[in-house]
Amino acid sequence: GGGVQRALDVAAGSKHTVLVAEDGRAAAFGQDTRGCLGQGESGSGRRFLLPRIMHWVSRDTTKVAQCAAGQSHTVLLTADGRVLTLGDGARGRLGHGEDAPGGGFRSSSVPRRVAGLDGLRVVGVACGTRHTLCVTESGLVYVWGANEAGQLGQGDFLDRSAPARVRHEEWNGDDARADANASGDSDHERSRVFELQERLLGPLRGATARFIP
């Protein structure tokens, strides 16, 4: 039937809004800055005053469950735990690494899968102005994008252009500062094993984001 669609999730960017409908489609409206509304090249730079469906995400193969919005980028979480990003790629906020010819970051007017999260089932996404975060089913937190104020939790002020795991000795296995100084540290190695376990075997029940020997 052609009944009224209800929204399951909504997010507010600086000049754009994103929503997820109950049928698994994503829509957006407002200012399409560098493609953040997902309307393709023809929509980039335009303003849309009513919700516009992102037809690049097929309901037949991909259902969207959650959304998040930054200043000029958008993040979609699919029902099967994958992360898609679109919009302004500056400072690595889309999570695709240096993917522009000659280095640098591409913007995208259509959703693109964040390959650095392959093998992980993501259950939540969030955005700051120019950075992105997600949490996996086991409780591991991954971040990427701008880091001028330390907002990525990596123990430094360096931007990240691909997913990097937030580490802390009390709840995520080890300390990012120790990681930077001693990659062979035993706590760091155990933490990497935990991450590999989740990628290969799926979520570890009751793990609460700590390494299980």
CA atoms within 13 A on the CB side of 31: 10
Q: What is the mean pLDDT of residues 105-112?
A: 95
pLDDT at 209 over 50: no
The reported pLDDT for the residue numbered 60 is: 66
pLDDT at 198: 72
Going across the sheet that includes 64-69, the strands are 64-69, 73-78, 83-87, 108-113
Two structure tokens written together for 115: 């390959």
Our CA dihedral for 195, 200, 203, 204, rounded to 10 degrees, sits at -70
Using alpha carbons only, give the angle 171, 192, 97 rounded to the nearest 5 degrees: 100
**CA 98 remoteness from chain centre:** 16
- Residues 89-108 have a mean pLDDT of 93
Q: What pLDDT is stored for residue 52 in this prediction? A: 95
**In the prediction, which pLDDT does 193 show?**
65
- pLDDT reported for residue 119: 92
pLDDT digits (tens, 9 = 90+) for 126-148: 999 999 999 999 888 999 999 99
- CA-closest candidate to residue 132, choices 120, 121, 143: 143
pLDDT band at 204 (very low <50, low <70, confident <90, very high): low
Per-residue pLDDT tens digits for 16-75: 999 999 999 999 999 999 999 999 998 989 999 999 999 887 666 789 999 999 999 999
DSSP state of 72: S
Q: From CA 152, how far away is CA 131, in angstroms rounded?
A: 8
3 C-beta neighbours (distance < 10 Å), count: 6
Predicted confidence at residue 213, as pLDDT, reads 31
103: phi then psi, degrees, rounded to nearest 5: 100, 170
Q: What is the pLDDT of residue 56?
A: 80
Indicate the pLDDT class of residue 4, thresholds 50, 70 and 90.
confident
pLDDT at site 170: 65
What phi and psi, each to the nearest 5 degrees, are found at residue 98? Answer: -80, 95
Q: Is 63 exposed, middle or buried (0-12, 13-18, 19+ CB in 10 A)?
A: middle
Residue range 81-97: mean pLDDT, rounded: 97
Would the pTM of this model clear 0.95, i.e. be above it? no
**Amino acid present at 196:** L
- Give the tens place of pLDDT for each residue, 173-199: 554 444 444 444 555 565 666 677 777
Looking at per-residue pLDDT, the higher value among 167 and 162 belongs to 162
Residue 159: per-residue pLDDT: 97
CB half-sphere exposure, 96, CA atoms < 13 A: 20
d(CA 91, CA 138): 28
